[in-house]
A and B are shown apart, each in its own frame.
Chain A
Amino acid sequence: QSVLTQPPSVSGAPGQRVTISCTGSSSNIGAGYNVHWYQQLPGTAPKLLIYVNNNRPSGVPDRFSGSKSGTSASLAITGLQAEDEADYYCQSYDSSLGGSGGFYVFGTGTKVTVL
């Protein structure tokens, strides 16, 4: 199972703001490792949404923003739109996994529903 915990689902009406939490520990987010976020639309491959905690790749609307504090990170979507309905995953690195020093991990995933 994942060491990064996300809420299974969040929902909001069009135009509203929703946030998705990604809770880790002292061996991953709390250790200073970067957090990245992905959006996965139904039936498609994940797409990088936020990298290195709070940076948007070219083409990602500024409605999406990321933050990190302590052992957790958050993704915020402001001005929620119908096309934002998707699964969202956080990703980081955990130094406690395996015998060779650590490994990458995904969060458990969150389904965003636009009401």
Chain B
Amino acid sequence: QLQLQESGSGLVKPSQTLSLTCAVSGGSISSGGYSWYWIRQPPGKGLEWIGYIYHSGSTYYNPSLKSRVTISLDRSKNQFSLKLSSVTAADTAVYYCAGGEGRGDYWGQGTLVNVSS
């Protein structure tokens, strides 16, 4: 059973870069068939895909965020990361990492990131 855990800064200033990491345990992120996702949820609102990375390292980003997003794998630490640049208050949300086969089979507990000066 895979377990995922997000970590990173909970407070980011406007115009700076949000950085989060998702540690995966109970399995390898290099295993075939799985993709690794970042999803966010603004307070009181619905879910939004940010992007995902295949076990191979190929990345796919939400078109509305593509110019600001980078997702990467760190196979040596069995984790994957999110960087979102030039943040504004609209980026305040609970950020989830997840993994699965075209869906969120496994989820982290989520971490609240507040964008504020």
Complex partner residue of B107 from A47, A93, A99, A108, CB under 8 angstroms = A47
Contact bitstring A70-91, B, C-beta under 8 A = 1, else 0: 0000000000000000000101
| A-B CB pair tally, cutoff 8 Å | 55
The reply to whether B63 and A89 contact each other, CB–CB distance below 8 Å, is no
The reply to whether B102 and A109 contact each other, CB–CB distance below 8 Å, is no
Q: Which of B10-18, B24-32, B42-50, B76-84 contacts A (4 or more CB under 8 A)?
A: B42-50
Q: Please measure, in the bound complex, the distance between the C-alpha atom of A91 and the C-alpha atom of B108, giving whole angstroms.
A: 18
Across-interface contacts of B103 in A (CB, < 8 A): 34, 36, 48, 51, 91
A114 at the interface (CB under 8 A from B): no
Known contacts A106-B49, A109-B47; A46 and B104 CB within 8 A of each other: yes
Contact bitstring A84-115, B, C-beta under 8 A = 1, else 0: 00000101010001111001111111000000
Complex partner residue of B108 from A38, A45, A47, CB under 8 angstroms = A45
Chain A nearest CB, measured from B116 CB (Å)? 22
A2 at the interface (CB under 8 A from B): yes
Q: Please measure, in the bound complex, the distance between the C-alpha atom of A24 and the C-alpha atom of B66, giving whole angstroms.
A: 23
Across-interface contacts of B110 in A (CB, < 8 A): 45
Chain A nearest CB, measured from B112 CB (Å)? 11
Q: Please measure, in the bound complex, the distance between the C-alpha atom of A34 and the C-alpha atom of B102, giving whole angstroms.
A: 9
B109 at the interface (CB under 8 A from A): yes
The interface size bin for chain A is 20 to 34
The reply to whether A103 and B60 contact each other, CB–CB distance below 8 Å, is yes
Complex partner residue of A45 from B96, B102, B105, CB under 8 angstroms = B96
Given contacts A104-B49, A106-B49, A107-B46, 9 further A-B contacts (CB under 8 A): A38-B104, A45-B96, A45-B109, A51-B105, A57-B105, A89-B46, A97-B63, A105-B49, A106-B46
A-B contact pairs, 17 of them (CB 8 A): A34-B103, A38-B47, A45-B108, A46-B96, A46-B104, A47-B107, A48-B100, A51-B103, A57-B105, A89-B46, A91-B103, A91-B104, A98-B61, A98-B62, A99-B63, A104-B37, A107-B46
